[in-house]
Amino acid sequence: MRKISKWKLFAVSSLTATLICMSVPVQKVQAAEEVPGVPSVCYLAMDVDTGEVLVEKNADVTVAPASTTKLVTAMVICDVLPMDTPITVTQEMLDRVPGGTSKAGVRAGGTYYGYELLAMLLIPSGADAAQVLAETAYGSADACVVKMNEKVAELGLSNTYFDNIYGLDIGDGYPLIHTTARDFAVITKHALTYDWIRIITAMPQYALPARTNNDVIGSLNTNQFLNGKKPYSTDLYQVIGTKTGTTRTAGNVLAATATNGKKTVICTCFYNPNADVLYGSVKQIFDYVYLQEAVGE
């Protein structure tokens, strides 16, 4: 395999309105405690090793996943496509990318390795990279969606469904996509078992080398903990991934992973009105979990 060189992530009323529009049965699960003072209306933190739910709030309400969806897109791509596969981008592929999506900037005529496109999918959240990978792996984006739903069914997740590979939702004509904070914590836990996904989503940035019709594409990770835009308690833990998302319906979304070297924790956090609420909430949740861990030692 070719080696990677220089590998250096609404208010309650809005949530209620969205749930009415996206009414899906909710599984009843005994809730863990909430974290006092966290402004986010929907979150869950899980111990990766044990699967234990540590804290949660509204973790079984139906939410729109936004671009965290691309973790599932990435998993089913990695299931069948060797990452050292050379892939030539065509204009027809790019023409099928829906408008209104975030794009990495790959160009027709360029040939990229699978891992390079996976990085463009997961770091700047490129829908163009998603389209090219899905068509290469499965022939079409729709066929890739079928595999995504098979994947979540295999994981036993009855409250998650995808109708596109990008994370678009009802605001862009994709009304069926949905998940829960609980389901998505399980999805994230499984995504971390893929070496390529785990390595790529931990990278603060990535530079795609020049190709035909392309200059070098430099991309910061959309995870603001990793790209340095949002602070967190580095004396307690290190953030090591995983995937962000933003749409008008979903709000600001993050599936984050952190570790203190002994305990690795996933936090899924949905329906935040802005980045400050999102990252502030996730920081408070991680702080609470890891302070509890320190007290228990």
pLDDT tens readout for residues 105-135: 999 999 999 999 999 999 999 999 999 999 9
Q: What pLDDT, on a 0 to 100 scale, did the predictor assign at position 296?
A: 63
Q: What is the pTM of this model?
A: 0.88
Query: To which residue do tokens 């903990």 refer?
Result: 225
**Bridge partner list, 214:** 211
Q: What pLDDT, on a 0 to 100 scale, did the predictor assign at position 214?
A: 80
Identify the CA nearest to 129 among candidates 70, 179, 187, 205. Answer: 70
Contact 64, 169 (CB under 8 A): yes
In DSSP notation, 90-145 reads -HHHHHTSPTTS------TT-EEEHHHHHHHHHSS--HHHHHHHHHHHHSSHHHHH
Domains in the chain and their CATH numbers? 12-296 (3.40.710.10)
Q: What pLDDT, on a 0 to 100 scale, did the predictor assign at position 297?
A: 57
Residues in the chain where the model's pLDDT stays below 50: 1-30
Q: What pLDDT, on a 0 to 100 scale, did the predictor assign at position 12?
A: 31
Q: What pLDDT, on a 0 to 100 scale, did the predictor assign at position 215?
A: 87
Q: What pLDDT, on a 0 to 100 scale, did the predictor assign at position 188?
A: 98
Q: What pLDDT, on a 0 to 100 scale, did the predictor assign at position 294?
A: 76
DSSP-assigned letter for residue 232: -
Q: What pLDDT, on a 0 to 100 scale, did the predictor assign at position 168?
A: 97
